[in-house]
Structure formats: C-alpha cells, structure tokens
Amino acid sequence: MVSVNEAKEKVIANAPVLSGEVKKLADALGYVLAEDILAPFSQPSFRQSSMDGYAIIHSDILHSGTELTLSGESKAGQTVALSLQSGQAIRIFTGAMVPDEATAVIMQEHTEVKEGKVLIHEFPVPEGKNVREIGKQIKKGAMALPGGTYLSPGSIGFLQGMAVTEVNVYRKPKIGLLLTGDELLKIGDPLTPGKIYESNSAMLIAALSQEGITDIEVTYAADDLDSTVAALKDLTVKNDVILASGGISVGDYDFVGAALKEVGTEQVFYKVKQKPGKPLMFAKKEEKLFFALPGNPASSLVCYYEYVLPALRKMMGRNDLFLKSLQMPVKYPYAFDGQRDEFLKAMIAGDEVIPLDGQESFALRSFAVADAIIYLPTTQNKVKPGDLVEVHLLPF
C-alpha cells in the first residue's frame, strides 16, 4: 500500500507525453501547443487609434481651448494614412490609421467643433496618448505563444488575429473503459432484485468529456477471468489509457487484478492509504496506462480526479496537472480514526468550505452537488470550525 503523495508521484512519473498532431485552429480549443508560435507580423501593424476623437500634434496644444483646423477624416479600414501639419486636427475613429505626423489622439468628449475648427479642452496633452504604436501588443518574430500553452478562447482569438490557421498540438488520449459486475443493468433493462443500474460509465465519460476527451470505447465483461482478460486485450490494442471500473477488490468475483497480470502489464502500485478509494491499482504496459478503479461510484470519481486526471493532463502536454488547490476554513467540525487519509465531498459557501452529508463510497448524491473535495491527511484527523483545510476545486 502506498501513500496518497507516493501514488501521485508514481502516476506522474509513468505517464508519457503523447505525440503531436496538426489541428485547424478552429478545432484546437482545449488542446496544448506542442511547439512555439512566433509572431508572423507586428500587432498592430500600423499606428492605430484607441479612441474616437481627433489626431493632433501634442505640442500644438498650448492651453485648454486651443483651436485647430479640421483637415480630414480617418476611419477604420481606410488603407492610406492622411498627412497632418502643425495647427491641424484630423477626425479619427477607433482602430483607424494614425497619421505619421500625429503624436496623440484627443477623445471626442474633450473637444468641440465649430465652423471647421476643433477646440481642444484638454491640457497638457502627453505625447502618445491614445495611440497604439506598431508592435505595441507584439512585435514581428517575438514569441506569440510558447509550446505548452493551453489553447483557450482567448488564445484562439489571438492566433486568429495573426492569421494562424493550423497549430501543432499534443493529441488527446484514446480511452478504453471496461465495466465489470454481473449485478449491473443497462438503461432499459427491467430493475430486478439484486441488480442495480450501472452509472460509472456515464459518470466517467462525462468527466473525460470535460477535458475534451471524446474518443472513448466502452466494453462490458462478465465476472469471470476469461471474459475480463479478453476485454482488456481488445481495449489495449486500440487505446492509450484503460480504465477498469470494479472488480479490483479481494472478493471471489474480482478478476481485474489477475486479468491485468494476464495481459502483461507491470503493476506500479495496488492500494492507496486513503478513504474512499483504497483498492486502486495502477499499472502500465510500454506507453499504455491502466487504472483499475473501485466499483463504488464515489470512490471511482475521487480516484479519477486525484490520479487519472493528472495523468491525462500530462499526456496532453498540460502543465496544470492537478486540481486547483487552496486552503480554506472549514465550516463544520469533522473527525475520523486517522488510519487513512480522507477525501470529503464538499461545497464552497462564501469563504468557507462545507463537508457534505453522504460521504459513503457508494453515495453519488453528495457528489452531484459538490464543487470541491476536502483532503484531510491522517495528521489532520480532527478539525473544528474555522480550521484551514486543503481544498481541491472540481472542474466546471
């Protein structure tokens, strides 16, 4: 049995970074850049006004009320810059080209137009005011986005503005999901005594989809060794990561551990000193990863967030592997026997975190409303209201 921290270290140490692939920029949201992108040109590529107003030479403004001659208009999209002489002002709009001679743009709210003259009601006027110089955002050849950048809507827009159409990104892992348990029913089957509707597949597929992982193959296996081995062999051929749900404890009908050995995996660890989720197994075969998750839904989801998700993020080239963590005061007291670290389903309320009712490993109702997980090591097995606890924020 390994500790929580040991388990996380072993998972990350054994998770490979996947190869790159070329994606159209429009399809690259949620991927991670596999190489640096340099700016193909400066942004802006011309002197640009940041306001609606008047382009002027700032040294012409000697006092508030200085009068200048209106000599033209520059609007956004105009491709030829006007010329400006001392004593003149040019009407200009946001995004339009600023004349080479102009050294400032005065907001129209600080001006008054009378009979072809522009009165400037601002003094002094600093040089460069409201003018975006060439390359103010980025200069040609500079690093636009380094490899390892997560492509968010903002980064997609930034790259689109530089006419980038394709990007080299780390590919996302293909997932094989194995469901075991003769007690499990599929939706549409009649509910009979001794049977339950299987929910882990929908839960794990939803969690994977949150990370933009949609290439998921689901297979069911009967509670016998041959069926489990056959299913694992088939999933291993096609996928990068295999998640087995259930069949990993010590019962007479738990065959996943033996089946993993049968298909030639190398066990990295089995069992973690935690509650829930103790019977977690992590194994590998060459570059492929295997997680045997507990069958109880809450245990399975905790193990996914704490161990599987960081491995998947590393494989996709991300730097933020683990759930965002922070220290928060707990609202209610909590105590446990201190034998194993505990993960508690929780909800954040203002500047406090609340441990929810229904912490049992089978209970998903509390997870349905949780937005965080409290992590309590054995050294913190008794907390009182106001004590700081480690909180892992669930992705939304």
Note whether 65 and 140 are same-domain residues. no
Give the amino acid at 158.
F
For residue range 154-163, list pLDDT tens digits in order: 999 999 999 9
Which of 295, 315, 335 terminates a domain? The answer is: 315
Asked if the structure places residue 197 within a domain, the reply is yes
Asked if the structure places residue 320 within a domain, the reply is no
| CATH number for the domain that contains residue 355 | 2.40.340.10
Check: CB of residue 377 under 8 Å from CB of residue 272.
no
Which of 251, 285, 315 terminates a domain? The answer is: 315
Supply 299's token pair.
């245990």
pLDDT, position 248: 74
| 344-351 own/partner pairs: CB under 8 Å, 24+ apart | 344/373, 344/374, 344/376, 345/298, 345/370, 345/373, 346/370, 346/371, 346/372, 346/373, 346/374, 346/391, 347/371, 347/372, 348/372, 348/391, 348/393
pLDDT, position 32: 98
How many domains would you assign to the chain? 4
Asked if the structure places residue 329 within a domain, the reply is yes
Which of 132, 159, 187 terminates a domain? The answer is: 132
Note whether 184 and 260 are same-domain residues. yes
Asked if the structure places residue 263 within a domain, the reply is yes
SS3 track for the chain:
CECHHHHHHHHHHHCCCCCEEEEEHHHCCCCEECCCEECCCCECCCCEECCCEEEECHHHCCCCCEEEEEEEEECCCCCCCCCCCCCEEEEECCCCECCCCCCEEEEHHHEEEECCEEEECCCCCCCCCCEECCCCCECCCCEEECCCCECCHHHHHHHHCCCCCEEEEECCCCEEEEEECCCEECCCCCCCCCCEECCHHHHHHHHHHHCCCCCEEEEEECCCHHHHHHHHHHHHHHCCEEEEECCCCCCCCCCHHHHHHHCCCEEEEECECEECCCCCEEEEECCEEEEEECCCHHHHHHHHHHHHHHHHHHHCCCCCCCCCEEEEEECCCEECCCCCEEEEEEEEECCEEEECCCCCCCCCHHHHHCCEEEEECHHHCEECCCCEEEEEECCC
Note whether 96 and 213 are same-domain residues. no
pLDDT, position 163: 96
| CATH number for the domain that contains residue 9 | 3.40.980.10
Asked if the structure places residue 124 within a domain, the reply is yes
Parent domain of 126? 48-132
Does the N-terminal peptide bond of residue 124 adopt cis geometry, omega within 30 degrees of 0? yes
Note whether 10 and 146 are same-domain residues. no
Dihedral angle over CA of 24, 26, 30, 33, nearest 10: 40
User: Rounded distance, CA 167 to CA 366, Å?
Assistant: 41
Note whether 216 and 265 are same-domain residues. yes
Pairing of strands 131-132, 117-120: unpaired
Note whether 192 and 254 are same-domain residues. yes
Note whether 299 and 185 are same-domain residues. yes
pLDDT, position 38: 98
396 residues of the chain, pLDDT tens digit each: 999 999 999 999 999 999 999 999 999 999 999 999 999 999 999 999 999 999 999 999 999 999 999 999 999 999 888 999 999 999 999 999 999 999 999 999 999 999 899 999 999 999 999 999 999 999 999 999 999 999 999 999 999 999 999 999 999 999 999 998 767 777 777 888 888 778 889 999 999 999 999 999 999 988 889 999 999 999 999 999 999 988 776 655 478 999 999 999 999 999 999 999 999 999 999 999 999 999 899 999 999 999 999 999 999 999 999 999 999 999 999 999 989 999 999 999 999 999 999 999 888 999 999 999 999 999 999 999 999 999 999 998
User: Rounded distance, CA 296 to CA 25, Å?
Assistant: 40
Asked if the structure places residue 349 within a domain, the reply is yes
Asked if the structure places residue 383 within a domain, the reply is yes
Asked if the structure places residue 219 within a domain, the reply is yes
pLDDT, position 140: 97
Note whether 148 and 251 are same-domain residues. no
Looking at the DSSP assignment, which residues form a beta bridge with residue 184?
196
Check: CB of residue 243 under 8 Å from CB of residue 308.
yes
| CATH number for the domain that contains residue 145 | 3.90.105.10
pLDDT, position 251: 59
pTM of the model: 0.89
pLDDT, position 63: 95
pLDDT, position 250: 60
For residue range 232-247, list pLDDT tens digits in order: 999 999 999 999 988 7
pLDDT, position 239: 98
| CATH number for the domain that contains residue 63 | 2.170.190.11
Check: CB of residue 246 under 8 Å from CB of residue 200.
yes
Note whether 106 and 238 are same-domain residues. no
Q: Please name the residues in contact with 25: beta carbons below 8 A apart, sequence gap of 6 or more.
A: 156, 159, 160, 164, 165, 166, 167
Note whether 250 and 389 are same-domain residues. no
Note whether 304 and 329 are same-domain residues. no
Note whether 161 and 28 are same-domain residues. yes
